[in-house]
Amino acid sequence: DGRIILRSRSNMLLQFTVGTLVIFVTTTMLIYYMLNKLEETEQESMARLQPSFPIDVNAHQPWKRGEMFVKRAEYEHDKKGRRQDKDVKQLNSVKEYLSDYNLPVSGIGETRLWYIKLRQKYDSKYPFDISDKASSLDRLLKLASSLREHQYTPIENLKCPDKPPPGYPKQWKMMDIIRNWNPDDTSDFHTTVIYQGICVFDHQTESEKANNYREAEVPFVLRNHVDVLRTVERWNDPSYMTELLREDEQKTEYSQSNHLMWWKLRGGSKRGLPDNWKPPTEIIKMKYSDWVKKAKDVNHKQDSTEKPHWYFRINGCGNGHTCGQSTTEFLFDELPFFKPVKSPFIIDPKQPRGINCRFGMTGNIAENHFDSSRNMVALLGGERRYMLASPSQCLNLELYPLSHPSGRHSAVDWSNPDLKNYPNFKNAMGNEIVLQAGDVLYLPTFWFHYIISLNTNLQCNARSGVSHEYRHFITECGF
């Protein structure tokens, strides 16, 4: 009898254990099923909110923050069934704004709502009517023409056929260019005749020419591209720039004179440098509003070359990369033509270098140097004079060696060349071009450039990829 009772209790325990296990497994499967259904429901809800209109990767309008804001707000509204009045008003405002534009899917750009609202305000002020592009373009072209206050005439007739002719670009003695217009002289634009050796193409009528010159890896200027002009229009509105750059402090280059030489200590050490070497510039933090005041002050001073000068800088990295705390990702929304997608401005989107902007004040000089990648330079306001030289001139340009903090930059003061200590410079050849609002300069890899700010100006550049046509000149030069 005892054995029967024990066996009965064991069976009951086994049945209880099995029953418990079945309930546990069933419950687990049910929970898993419900979670999956909930996730599917959420995905379906989000999918319903996907835009059904065409995608334009070069659309000017900021998108990422606005699109995600709308999706998140609508989903939360569906889930909770309620929303405060002010949130509904804000949501509808953003939805109405975004509904007018095609949204690019590039994954870069500004992510904060303040920027969406700012663009909503100013895109209403400066509309671009897709249904009537001709009138909008005419407005932009008239604006650009009004901003180009000075007319410059090439010293010789410049021929710009469909493809670069032999000997392009035209070159002259660099010393003759300097004697004609000293880099330190920006007081009265005393000359309108310049040693211009590169072609300027109007995008509206000569885009194919520009493409041919780009493929030939020679410098040229592209003018009047509609996306560039739209940025020019906003950026030449002082109130817009004040609201865009706000009171954020940005890295700014400071020099005690108008010459701003780039430098970087190799390995962070001064070892091997002359005892009297000191950094030619200093990096400080400055607000845009403060920089504008200093720029106006410099403009009103006579012979300001020995007075302090500042380069105001803003940078955008894109693709989730960081450029430090001063990164301003709205640059990819402000300058959509510099987004890392194949375009007339971005040759190799797989090797982007971000967007780098330097705002110059009258007299600012960036010393002669080369960059190791292709460079597109957009002038969005004001005027800048570029003195250019082919990589074949490397030995004549008397560069600091790579071991020097200012390596790949010319050791010669071009505003007062010392031919005794730098005798090769007298043989240097080059040309010049004055960039004005709406101009984009293409510089192939390794081309030298010396930059003079003729007035307060706004410049941004983007680099993408490397070409090797001129590398042997740089290698022979020790780089």
pLDDT higher for 4 or 377?
377
Give which of 440, 236, 234, 445 is closest to 337, Cα–Cα.
440
Structural Rg of the chain based on CA atoms: 30
Q: Residue 54 has what pLDDT?
A: 32
- Is-contact 328 315, C-beta < 8 A? yes
CA dist 467 and 73 (Å) reads: 47
CA dist 235 and 381 (Å) reads: 7
The structure's pTM equals: 0.80
Q: N- to C-terminal Cα distance for the chain?
A: 101
Residue 254 predicted with pLDDT over 90 = yes
pLDDT higher for 33 or 400?
400
Residue 63 predicted with pLDDT over 50 = no
Q: For 21-35, how does the pLDDT look when each residue is reduced to its tens digit (9 = 90+)? A: 777 777 767 766 665
Q: For 172-198, how does the pLDDT look when each residue is reduced to its tens digit (9 = 90+)? A: 999 999 999 999 998 766 678 999 999
pLDDT higher for 52 or 235?
235
Q: Residue 324 has what pLDDT?
A: 55
CA dist 188 and 49 (Å) reads: 58
Residue 390 predicted with pLDDT over 70 = yes
Residue 212 predicted with pLDDT over 70 = yes
Band (274; pLDDT cuts 50, 70, 90)? confident
Of 12-26, 216-230, 321-335, 362-376, the poorest mean pLDDT is in 12-26
Band (88; pLDDT cuts 50, 70, 90)? low
Residue 294 predicted with pLDDT over 70 = yes
Q: Residue 8 has what pLDDT?
A: 61
Contacts (Cβ under 8 Å, ≥6 apart) of 207: 201, 222, 344
Q: For 296-338, how does the pLDDT look when each residue is reduced to its tens digit (9 = 90+)? A: 998 766 667 889 999 999 998 876 555 655 568 899 999 999 9
For the chain, percent of residues with pLDDT exceeding 90 = 64
Mean pLDDT of 419-439: 98
Q: What are phi and psi of 411, to 5 degrees?
A: -80, -10
pLDDT higher for 108 or 290?
290
Residue 91 predicted with pLDDT over 90 = no
